[in-house]
Amino acid sequence: MNYVLAGYAVTFGALGLYALRVVLRGRALRRVLAPVPPVDGEEHG
Whole-number minimum distance, CB 22 to another protein, in Å?
A: 5
Minimum distance of another protein from residue 21's CB (angstroms)? 10
Q: What DSSP line would sit under 1-45, residue for residue?
A: -HHHHHHHHHHHHHHHHHHHHHHHHHHHHHHHTTTS--SS-S---
Least distance from C-beta 26 to another protein, angstroms? 5
Residue 31, C-beta contacts closer than 8 angstroms, at least 6 positions apart: none
Footprint of another protein (CB under 8 A): 1, 3-8, 10-12, 14-15, 18-19, 22-23, 25-26, 29-30, 32-33, 35-40, 43-45
